[in-house]
Structure 1
Amino acid sequence: MSRPLRVAIIGAGPAGIYAADILDKSDTPTHIDLFERMPAPFGLIRYGVAPDHPRIKGIVTALHKVLDRPGIRLIGNVDYGTDLKLDELREFYDAVIFSTGASADRPLEIPGIDLPGSYGAADFVSWYDGHPDVPRTWPLEATSVAVLGVGNVALDVARVLAKTADELLSTEIPPNVYEGLKSSPVTDVHVFGRRGPAQAKFTPMELRELDHSPNVEVLVDPEDIEFDEGSMAAIRSSKQIDMVVKTLQEWAIRDSRNRPKRLHLHFFHSPAEVLGDGHVTGLRTERTELTGDGNVRGTGVFHDWDVQAVYRAVGYLSSHLAEIPFDHLTGTVPNQAGRVLDIDENQVPGVYVTGWIKRGPVGLIGHTKGDAAETIASLLADADTLTGATRNEPDAIMDFLVDRGVPFTTWDGWGRLDAHERSLGEPQGRDRVKVVEREEMLRVSRG
């Protein structure tokens, strides 16, 4: 190709930015446009990571440097499938990479899960992270809460529920979230895992962070510290699992510290039913036991827990993208090394995927780098066979969006919004205060 390869990346979260980084550093001359549905970039970092995780949010510094390069453009507040369609993207780009991640809650099929007072963790995370497309209030009325799942998201949800609002005031939470958490009457948060401590999915860092609050006592039942041969093999094979298990063992035998709020970690409890008539009044779990290989089976012994709200944190699920094949069972786009495949397993020319929409919502943020490297390698291998864009002038897409009336934002616009949020936080000694309303984000971004 006699001109730079023009590539559109749909989704400006870590997966999309990592793909842009690797493509921009390749030997192939490129021009890359990152499209983002939000007016601001960074996806999961901005709208999926708990506000009291400054170390993880520090990844933004590295992502910022990528977006600051001259060969990469950010085009925000553009919704694929509404503002732009696939055939329209093909006019302007030689290839399209989808990196839209996963933001919906995976369903949990148990009786009562749809009762009022039963929530998906992703919705709660979006609320406390100030996502512009969710309600500004959250019904925090329960004194005792159940969180289903033992991954990092479950611990984030449990920690935010258990902490006092004042403990989070030093973070970037917006005023509406602070006021909501301040009014919460919660005293007990119960986290339930179906299997044992050695099978927990959270990381040692996430686990230890639960114990940092001076207002929250973390409790582990000594009866839940149990291992079979499969569990011991997992502990021997993984330093992370060993660290998690040792921390839980220490907490199970330590003396009470009589703190005003309690966060209970329960293992070997499989959710069986959400109880209630018109609203959540309890949770029924079945006690499980190890089978020798690290798996569990039900014992037929049930326990009812007095809770008034239930949050399911059993995994995220990607959403079906318009005009793109989708496997509804796995929540991923069928692909081979990042090349999108149609129903007959033939390659869809010029269309690629990376990140959670490619492999499912598993692993940490850094794991998306491997996905991106594989996808970019496939794209570059296909470069000579790609159908060239018919409207390949760099500004043609901007003119198209203007004509369509799409109020898009840019990298310079993010700079204005970033500076504005930091100015809101400065008088309070905070790094920033996040702007929540989309219209306000657009007003500030567009100057």
Structure 2
Amino acid sequence: MYSPFKMWNGTIRSAKKYACLRTTIRFSSVAKHKVCIVGSGPAGFYTAQHLIKNEPNLEIDMFEKLPVPFGLVRYGVAPDHADVKNVINTFTSIAKSGRLQFIGNVTIGKDVTLNDLRTAYDVVVLAYGAAQDRWLGIPGENFENVVSARKFVGWYNGLPEESNLQLNLNVEKAVIIGQGNVALDIARILLTPIEILKKTDIAQHALQALKESKIRNVKLVGRRGPLQVAFTIKELREMIKLPEVSNRIHLEDRDYIEACIPKTPRPRRRITELMLQSADTKQADVKDSSKQWELIFHRTPLEIVKSENQRSVKALVVGINRLKEDNWENPQIEDTGLRETIPCGMIIKSIGYKSLPLSDELPFDHIKGVIRQKEGRVEGMPGVFCSGWVASGPVGVIASTLQSGHDVGKRILDDLRKGICATSTVKPGRDVILSQLATRGVEPVTFVEWETLDNEERERGKNQKKPREKIIDVREMIDIAKKVQS
């Protein structure tokens, strides 16, 4: 069934309209407690899913900075992974259940403060992910054409803030620092034939740039060895099967690797065996026009070198290391003193993300980039919880986020039933927040309005023979969304 937010129609421009809105957005029964979730990605939706399933008498609002929902699923999952994006169907069902209200285009910390939310709701769940880059801390990191994986992924996925990212793909060699799933995603997007990419929901500006790209060789450089790679076997298989692309996996100590295989868990064993098998496979002669990707291990980035004209990247200098201890799971790295220069015209840093605090009052570990918490409960703030990457750091995949979201949901319900995070005072919930937004001139977007935007993107995609053509301008998003009819 559709959300009661169907009543929220057109652009709301005055406090009077908000007052009318507050009288029309009501549940059929009075909710005992009011919950708000900050962030509409997997962590937010899976936390909401558990709450809705296990407590029928909650009023739940979900706030999102952008006018569109789904967070990492929309802007982080690679465009050629349509099967992974199918989880949007589950999230849509949750949003249209009548139990949760999506309130987009609201930036917590700017339009509304954390203290505002704590005053208005019994429970505040912070699930806004990780949106800041980690740094290598080496010379040359600020050079042109040295970009973070977060920015690059946002660029090809149509994230508004990265749509104008300046990139030079008119180079033959690129280096990706990191060997996780995101690193392989980026390498795959750089090397996949355009005939395949153009059938996905990749942003049009990225598709055009990749069509004109001169990149033919992508090296994925990691500090540790093949037994410590962070990607999954699915991602590796996709890379190995890329059409019109050869591969080279640099294995420097095969005897040691083969000796360790029997000691490793099955998932790790399968990945390692596939790398060994691929390294042994004789590939056809690589022609000048062919594309190739490489896995290079035991290399620590030390310096990025500029070209002679000082306008582009020339190379990455790395230190060759070795694993100090006979411990394949978490080995110590030792510098051998040897150095190597890897020529390249572009460098992408895929070394992880970290979160930012929404307010100074939030207990935050600035080194790790996470909220200080225990089992999802934010330290020293009863009634405030955190879920997903803002709590754990950028680890795991969407499936693992499901379990952590459900775990946080369980603890929220436990604390509500014990009276730990609710008082006898009835909280005003969204009523007071909507009034504040009206006063501050903010135009919230409802889920029904998002569906109008969703339909427009799908229609534009049909013209390109794509699943959708993402709109990348926030103002245009809002204008289209507000065309919804009652």
What TM-score, normalized to structure 2?
0.86
Q: 1:442 is matched with which residue: 464, 471, 478?
A: 478
Instruction: Say if 1:99 and 1:356, in contact at 8 Å, map to a contact too.
Output: yes
Distance in 2, matches of 1:388 and 1:37, equals 31
CA RMSD of aligned residues (A): 2.0
Q: Secondary structure at the match of 1:7?
A: strand
Stretch of structure 1 that moved more, 133-142 or 9-18:
133-142
Q: Once the 2 structures are TM-superposed, how far is the Cα of residue 218 of structure 1 from its aligned partner?
A: 1.7
**Residues 248 and 389 (structure 1 numbering): CA distance in 2 closer, same or farther, change over 3 Å?**
farther
Q: Structure 1 residues 388 and 340 mapped into 2: Cα distance closer, same or farther (>3 Å)?
A: farther
Aligned to 2:372: 334
Spell out the pairing of 1:128-167 with structure 2 (5 A cutoff). Answer: 128-139=156-167, 140-167=169-196
User: What is the CA–CA distance in structure 1 between the aligned matches of 2:165 and 2:413, rounded to whole Å?
Assistant: 46
Greater relative CO, 1 or 2 (CA 8 Å, sep 6+)? 2
Amino acid at match of 1:232: C
Name 2:415's counterpart in structure 1: 382
- Determine what percentage of the aligned residue pairs are the same residue: 33
Q: CA deviation at 1:283?
A: 0.8
- Whether the 8 Å contact between 2:319 and 2:340 is mirrored in structure 1 is yes
Aligned-partner Cα distance in 1 for 2:111–2:254: 53
1:38-187 equivalences under 5 Å are 38-139=66-167, 140-187=169-216
Confirm whether residue 26 of structure 1 aligns to residue 54 of structure 2: yes
CA distance in 1, matches of 2:31, 2:178: 50
Task: Give how far 1:226 is off.
Answer: 5.7
The CA distance in 1 between the partners of 2:102 and 2:343, in whole Å, is: 48
**2: distance between equivalents of 1:300 and 1:205?**
35
- CA offsets 1:378-424 (integer angstroms, 9 cap, x no match): 32222224236655265443343233211111110121111111111
Letter in 2 for 1:20: A
SS in 2 for 1:349: coil
| Structure-2 separation of matches of 1:65 and 1:182 | 37
The one of 429, 444, 448 aligned to 1:408 = 444
Which of 327, 334, 340 in structure 2 is aligned with 1:293?
327
Cα–Cα, structure 1 residues 393 and 14, in superposed 2: closer, same or farther, change >3 Å?
closer
User: Partners of 2:172 and 2:275 in 1: how far apart?
Assistant: 25
Does the 8 Å contact 2:457/2:468 carry over to 1? Answer: yes
Aligned mates of 1:415, 1:123 — CA distance in 2: 26
What SS does the aligned partner of 2:90 have?
helix
1:4 aligns with one of 32, 52, 75: 32
C-alpha displacement of 1:173: 1.4
The aligned length equals 439
2:21 counterpart residue number: none
CA contact (8 A) 1:104 1:317 kept: yes
The match for 2:219 among 155, 167, 190 is: 190
1:245 to 260, 268, 272: 272
Q: How does 1:217-256 map to 2 (within 5 A)?
A: 217-223=246-252, 225=254, 227=256, 232=260, 236-256=263-283
User: How many Å separate the matches in 1 of 2:355 and 2:320?
Assistant: 31
Match of 2:402 among 346, 364, 369: 369
Q: C-alpha separation between the residues in 1 aligned to 2:306 and 2:271?
A: 34
1:124 counterpart SS class: helix
2:443 is paired with a residue whose SS is: coil
Partner of 1:359: 392
Task: From the superposition, tell whether residues 356 and 10 of structure 1 become closer, same or farther in structure 2 (CA, over 3 Å).
Answer: same
Shift of 1:307: 0.7
Question: What secondary structure does 2:367 align onto?
Answer: coil
1:90 corresponds to which letter in structure 2? Answer: R
Partners of 2:253 and 2:142 in 1: how far apart? 29
Q: Where does the alignment leave 5 or more consecutive residues of structure 1 unmatched?
A: 342-346
Q: Does 1:348 align with 2:378?
A: no
Q: CA deviation at 1:57?
A: 1.0
Q: Which residue of 2 aligns with 1:210?
A: 239
Q: Deviations over 1:3-62 (max 9, x none)?
A: 431001000000000011101111351010000111111111111111111121112122
Mark the CA change 1:401 to 1:136 in structure 2 (over 3 Å): closer, same or farther: same
Return the alpha-carbon distance in structure 2 between the equivalents of residues 326 and 108 of structure 1: 21
The answer on 1:276 being equivalent to 2:276 is no
State the structure with more CA Rg.
2
Query: Is 2:467 aligned against 1:431?
Result: yes
> 1:146-200 CA deviation, whole Å, 9 max, x = no partner?
1001100111111112223333100001221111111211111110111111110
Task: Tell me how far apart the structure 2 counterparts of residues 165 and 39 of structure 1 sit (CA, whole Å).
Answer: 30
